[in-house]
Structures are given as C-alpha cells and as structure tokens.
Amino acid sequence: MSEFSESYHLRSEQPEDAIEILRSIQCNGYVYRPSNGWVTFLAEGSAFEPDERIVAAAVHPLLHYVYAEDYGWGFTLYNRGAVVSRYHCNWGDDELHVDDSEYSRANLQQVVPSVQLELLDDVEQWLHPHDIDELLTAEPAKLFAHAVGLVHYNWLSYDYIERDSANSPEVTRVIGA
C-alpha cells in the first residue's frame, strides 16, 4: 500500500485555533496537540489541494503538506491567506514535473524562524532531482517535514484517521457541521 498523506499545520500553540477554523467553515476534522510550534489538523474532503476556506480562515501561518508516494509531494505555506512559499514535485506519469516558481527560502525562514537550516540545505539539494529513483531514495518530503519541525505528517490524512480513530487517542475529533 502506498502512502497518501495530506495535512494542515497551523503555526500556533493552541489547538483551539485549528478547532475554530474547522468549525467556522463547518468542516469535520481531527486536531493534534501542539508540537514544535505547530498544531496539526486534518480536514474532511481535502483532495491534495489546499482548501481555500481553511486558508481564508487561518489567522496564523498555515502549512499545507502533501505526500503521495507514487505521485508527488509538495507544500504551500501561507501567511494571512497569501502564499509565502510553495513547492510541488509530481512524478505520476514517469516524468518529473517540478514547480518551484513560488519557493522562497527567505519567506520560509521568516514565517518559521525555528527551521533547521542544515536540513533545509539538504532539502534544497533535492528540489530538482534527476530521476524518480533518486527522489524516492533521498525522501526530500520527509527531510522538509523534519526541517520545519513537523511531528505529525507521515501516513496522515483525514481518511486514515477516520478509519482508525480508535488507535489515535492523541487527536481531538471536530464536528464542523
């Protein structure tokens, strides 16, 4: 089984901030306790694209993280609804497609001052991989998650938790509707 992960990460120490976003847009979800300055949350109905309602409702910096093992990975970092850094790499058709037109290390460092610069250097070495095998070996998506301090990102999505929420006692279920 291939990994399909999609999660939101709010730059906050208060899980209530993520709960409020989900409730304000009437969306079901799951919210984790804060870790490393991030509140991770999962939203129902996400389709590997940022939900504009979530982006608009976020008053704190928001990171949308996607990793689909057989297809691609990427992230979009927002601050008050505006994209401050974005990167996407897809390989589903056996060709690599990279979009780094909105990637900004400076903006990333400004919004996430705790970013681990050495790990970010490692990530940047793999932003333009030569082939899919090289990319899968280097695992830049996981390097990126570590660099920005994400704890909850691996094998993580609303659908995964929804099917197995009994084994996820560390999350709070939010009924948005």
Q: Please compute the mean of the pLDDT values over residues 52-73 and round it to a whole number.
A: 95
Q: Name the token pair of 89.
A: 């790499």
Q: Which residues pair with 61 in a beta bridge?
A: none
Q: Please compute the mean of the pLDDT values over residues 75-84 and round it to a whole number.
A: 98
Which pLDDT score, from 0 to 100, does residue 1 have? 62
Q: Is 156 helix (H, G, I), strand (E, B) or coil?
A: coil
Q: Name the token pair of 171.
A: 């999350």
The larger pLDDT score, comparing residue 149 to residue 163, is at 149
176 has a pLDDT exceeding 80: no
Q: Name the token pair of 76.
A: 């979009």
93 has a pLDDT exceeding 80: no
Distance of CA 77 to the CA centre of its chain: 8
Residue 109 contacts residue 115 (beta carbons within 8 Å): yes
Give the helix/strand (H/E) hosting 110: helix 105-111
The larger pLDDT score, comparing residue 176 to residue 30, is at 30
Angle at 49 between CA 148 and CA 92, to 5 degrees: 90
Q: Please compute the mean of the pLDDT values over residues 90-107 and round it to a whole number.
A: 91
Phi and psi of 22, rounded to 5°? -60, -45
Angle at 10 between CA 177 and CA 124, to 5 degrees: 135
